Amino acid sequence: MNLANLQLRSAVVKAIRRWFDERDFLEVHTARLVGVPGQEPYLEPFWTEVTSPSIPVRANGVRPSVPAALITSPEYMCKRLIAAGIPRLYDLGPCFRNGEPWDGTHDPEFLLLEWYRRDAGLEDLMRDTEQMMRWVSCIVGAQFIAPGPACMPAVSAMPADPGVINHAPTFDRPFRRLTVEQAWKQYANIDLAPLLGDRAAMADTARAFDQTVSESDTWDDLYFKIFLSHIEPKLGWEGENLCPTFLYRYPASQAALARPSADDPRWADRVELYVGNLELANGFAELSDEVEQRARFLEEQELRKSLGKPTWPLDERFLTSLPQMGDAAGIAFGVDRLVMLLSGVSSINDVIPASARERFDS
């Protein structure tokens, strides 16, 4: 536990709320305990059960319990609220993912910021993210880092003991923007578009990059073997300097909740933000087609089954709300990871009050 970093974390949270409040985003506190969690194949919710005298007693006299899960993200409810007519909103609170490592950039309980806009797209999300990060780093830099960067609006005086933080990025340069296709060409000299959907060609490419290829590997598995080893480590850097980089326009198979790109449905309107070794944000221009979203969820269910993982029903309330959402966009942002970046630490354990390792590793 690092008290200076906890003080910084508190200032970051306050600055984030101020940024969104001053831009007329409505803060919402969506439910953390739900009956139907997300369908993501590679995320695992924590399961529990709800008991209540309000649950009807069965004919055999037994009052059943109701399965419930802690959310991995507030996405479904945020989108339902956008569909209900809220033009812009944000949710800042804890989320939960089981099976996560207990160090590095992961903890099973973490602080997640999500915000959504009606009548918006990827460019709006990238602009919001860049401006918010620049503003927050400026505010907390003036409070906690000596000498603080010059910034407006004015902030409160620095505390008497600013802690051990000696520097932090101020994000004063424009963030880089790269399509996935451009990143593959720039960092691996691979033309990705001809490989889309062609499993045999992607397998040959993976072998050329010294990756193992098995019969069970899907196209996406092979994609990630190359991406994680040859491309992702180079994102977010310019030589030895941090270079915040938006990576956008993903293969459609990797964006189950995003709408297809207007000019080519093989791609989807998804964006991620990398800064140094940290992936900070993941967002979409949201898919609002109920039929298409249902089909994608069913595909994810089948993938979960093939991986030997449990499945659960689709969220019908979420699906039926989608047509009312219109052209909306939203993004999830890791607050703990931003604090890691600003404090210069390499483990999330150094920026949260009590890590999973501290609580459970006896």
| DSSP code per residue over 149-195 | PP-SS--PPPPS--TT--------SPPEEEEHHHHHHHHH----GGG
- CATH number (domain holding residue 129): 3.30.930.10
> pLDDT digits over 206-221, tens only?
999 999 999 999 999 9
Residues whose CB falls within 8 Å of the CB of residue 231, separated by 6 or more in sequence, listed in order:
183, 184, 187, 188
Model confidence band, residue 145 (pLDDT cutoffs 50, 70, 90): low
Distance CA 108, CA 228 (A): 22
Is the CB of residue 171 less than 8 Å from the CB of residue 151?
Answer: no
With bands split at pLDDT 50, 70 and 90, how would you rate the model's confidence at 193?
very high
Q: Give the pLDDT score at 142.
A: 67
- Residue 293: per-residue pLDDT: 97
Q: Residue 79 is part of which domain span? A: 3-48+69-174+321-360
Is the pLDDT confidence value at 268 over 60?
A: yes
- Does the reported pTM lie above 0.85? yes
Question: Interior CA angle at 279 toward 220 and 264, to 5°?
Answer: 45
Q: Is residue 234 part of a domain?
A: no
The three-state secondary structure class of 214 is coil
pLDDT tens track for 281-291 = 999 999 999 99
Question: Domain for residue 280, yes or no?
Answer: no
The answer on pLDDT for 199 being more than 70 is yes
Q: Residue 130 and residue 244: Cα distance in Å, rounded?
A: 9
Domain annotation covers residue 43: yes
Residue 302 has pLDDT above 50, yes or no: yes
Average pLDDT of the residues of the chain = 91
Task: Note whether residue 26 is domain-resident.
Answer: yes
Joined tokens for residue 74? 């507030």
Q: Helix 3-21 vs helix 122-144: angle between axes, to the nearest 10 degrees?
A: 130
In this prediction, residue 362 carries a pLDDT of 62
Q: Tell me, yes or no, whether 306 lies in a domain.
A: no
Total structural domains within the chain: 1
pLDDT higher than threshold 80 for residue 165: no
DSSP helix/strand/coil, 218:
coil
Q: Tokens 């087609």 label which residue?
A: 289
The reply to whether 202 falls in a domain is no
> What is the model's pLDDT at position 214?
96
CA–CA distance, 130 with 170 (Å, rounded to integer): 11
Nearest by Cα to 108 from 117, 116, 100, 120: 100
Two tokens at 61? 């006299």
Q: Residue 65 carries which DSSP code?
A: -
Is residue 271 helix, strand or coil?
strand
Q: Has residue 22 been placed in a domain?
A: yes
Distance CA 350, CA 343 (A): 9
Average pLDDT over residues 17-41: 96
- How does residue 144 score in pLDDT terms, banded at 50, 70 and 90? low
What does the pLDDT average to over 176-186?
98
Closest CA to 287 of 296, 277, 279, 276: 296
Cα separation, 158 vs 179, in Å, equals: 40
| pLDDT higher than 90, residue 181 | yes
Within a domain: 151? yes
